A and B are shown apart, each in its own frame.
Chain A
C-alpha cells in the first residue's frame, strides 16, 4: 500500500511541534484573561434587584450619607443591609403610590425582608471584618468605587485574593485620613505614598499577610 501522506505534510508535522507548545501557552493565557474578565468576576455588571434602588439618586442627588442606611459599617464586622423600616422613613411620605416601591411597602406590611441580591459576596472561607478596614482609613470608594455614580449597584473590584493582597501587602498605597473615609469624591493625592506611610504609622496598620488572618 502506498503512503497516504503527501511529503508536504512533513511541514505540518514540524509545525505541530511548535504549535502544540504555543497552543498550550495560548490556552493558559486565555484562561487567565477569562478569570479576570467581568464575565467571571462580575465587575462593572449592574445587578438586577427586586426594587431598582439607585445609589446615584440617593447619594449624589439627595446627599444621603452612607451611614444613614448602612449603619453598622464602623462598628460591625458586617457592613449590613438596611431594614425596610429605613426606606419607609421617607417613603411613607414620598412616592407612597409608586408601583416601583410596592415590594418595599409589602415588605413593611408583612414583615418579610426584601430579597436583595448580594453584590459583594466574599467566599464563606474568608474571615472579613468591615469595621477594622474603616477604622484604619480604608475609604468606601477604595473598595466599592464611586457608588454615588451607580444607578444600579455593581462590583467595582473582583474581590479576588490578589486584590485583597494588593492592599494588605502595601497599605500605604491606599489608606486615607479617617475623616475622608466617607468622602465619595476623594482622589489619591500626588503625595499618597508619603501620606500613606505616615498614616500607616499613625493608625498602627500592620501588613497582615498570614494565611490565618483571613482563613481562620
Chain B
C-alpha cells in the first residue's frame, strides 16, 4: 500500500548520513561508555522494585501453598495459566521478527530483531515462572520430563500439559541459541572496543574467538539461516500447543478447532504490541530515531492491525459456532460470557482488542509515536483480558450447575503477576546496559552503497 509520501521508493530503513563507523559508535557506545540516561535508572529502578514483589510473593506462595491464590474448585487454573499464556504469546513476535522476516528478506527487521529476541527470552522466562509456581511443589518440576525415573513411569504423553513442556523448552532453547549466535560478531566488536580487563575478558569469552574471517562469516551465515529455519515452525507450533491445553479439554468454550490459529494470531498480535511498547521508549531514550525509523513503527502497526483482525474473526467465530451448532452448553457458555457475571470483562475485551485498534487504519495514527504507544498498551491489556476470559469463564461454569463456581483473584495473584512484569523489566534494562540492543554488523549492511543488500520493498 502507499503512504502519502510523494515518492515511489519506500523510506530507508536507516536514515541517510551514516557510515560503518557512526553506526558502530552509536550502538556500541550505549554499552561501553558505562553511562546510562536518567530514564534507564528510573526504568530499572521500577523493574527491580517490582521484581522484589515477585520474590516476596513467590516465597509466600511456597511457604503457605497455592491457597494464597484465588484458584479454587472449579477454577483451578486462574491467574497462573492466564499469565503463562500472556507471556508466552508476547514472546512470539521476537521469533517471528528474527526468523520469518529473515527468511522473507525483510531488511527492516534488522533494527528491531535483537531486542525483540531479548524480549522473547525474557517473556519466556516470566511465562515459565507460572506453571512452575502453580505446581505447588516446583522442586519436582523434573517429573514432567521423560527420563528413566525411579517410578518406572513415563509422563502422560496424551496430556497437552506434557506437550507444553516440550514446546516451551524447545522454544526457549532455540530462541536462546538464535539470539546468542546472532550476538557473536557484535560481542567481538565490544571485545575489541573494551577498555578495561573485565570487559575484555567477559566479551572475549562470549565472542568465542570470533575474528571476522571469511570462514567465520560463511559459517555464521549458514548457522544463522539454519537456526532461522528451525525457529520458523516454532512461531506456529508453540502457541498451537499452548492452545491445545484448552482445545483438548472438553469444556465448553475450549473444545474448538479454531483455537490453534486464533491463539497464534493473538500471540503475534500481543507480541508486536509489546515490541512497540518497548521500541518507542527505547528509541526515545537513546535517540535511535535514525535506526528505528518511522517506517519500522508503521510496519509493526500494520502487523498488529492484520493479526488483530484475525483475532476479532476468532471471537466472532466462537460466537457464531455456538449459535450455528445449536449445542446447548456452547450456547450457554457464550451467553454467560456476553451477559453473565464476567460480561464486563468481555465487553472491555471487545473494546480494547477489537474496536480501539481499528484506529491503526489511519496513517496519522501510524505516524504518531504517542498514539502507537497508547494502542500498543491497550492491546497488551486486551490480550490479557482475552486469556482471563477463556480460562475463567469456561472453568467456572461447565456442564453441571452443581459444580459451578466463581473466581476472584487475591492480592497475591496480582503481586505475582505484577512481579513478573518487574522481572521482565529488570532483565530488559540489564540487557540494554550490557549488550548492543541493535545488531551492529547487520545495520552496517544497510548503509547505502555498502557491502549489504538493497532496501526492501515491504510497502
Contact residues of A with B, CB < 8 Å?
1, 3-5, 7, 9-10, 13, 28, 32, 35-36, 158, 160-166
Contacts and interface: CB of A to CB of B under 8 A. Distances in A.
B147 A162 contact: no
Interface of B: 147-153, 191, 194-197, 200-201, 204-205, 208-209
Contacts of B147: 28, 32
A13 B150 contact: no
Interface of B is mostly: loop
Is the contact region of chain A dominated by helix, strand, or loop, or is it mixed? helix
A211 B391 CA distance: 28
17 contacts: A1-B196, A1-B200, A4-B200, A5-B205, A7-B209, A10-B208, A10-B209, A13-B209, A32-B147, A32-B148, A35-B150, A158-B150, A160-B150, A161-B153, A162-B152, A164-B152, A165-B152
The 3 nearest A-B residue pairs measured at CB: A162-B152, A10-B209, A161-B151
Contacts of B196: 1
A203 B205 CA distance: 67
A7 B211 CA distance: 10
Contacts of A161: 150-153
A1 B195 contact: yes
Nearest to A161: B151
Nearest to A3: B204
A5 B195 CA distance: 15
Contacts of A165: 151-153
A164 to B, nearest CB: 8
A57 B153 CA distance: 40
Given A5-B204, A5-B209, A10-B209, A162 B151 contact: yes
A13 B208 contact: yes
Contacts of A13: 208-209
A28 B153 CA distance: 17
A29 to B, nearest CB: 10
Contacts of A3: 191, 200, 204
A36 B197 contact: no
Contacts of B151: 160-162, 165
Given A9-B209, A10-B209, A28-B147, A1 B153 contact: no
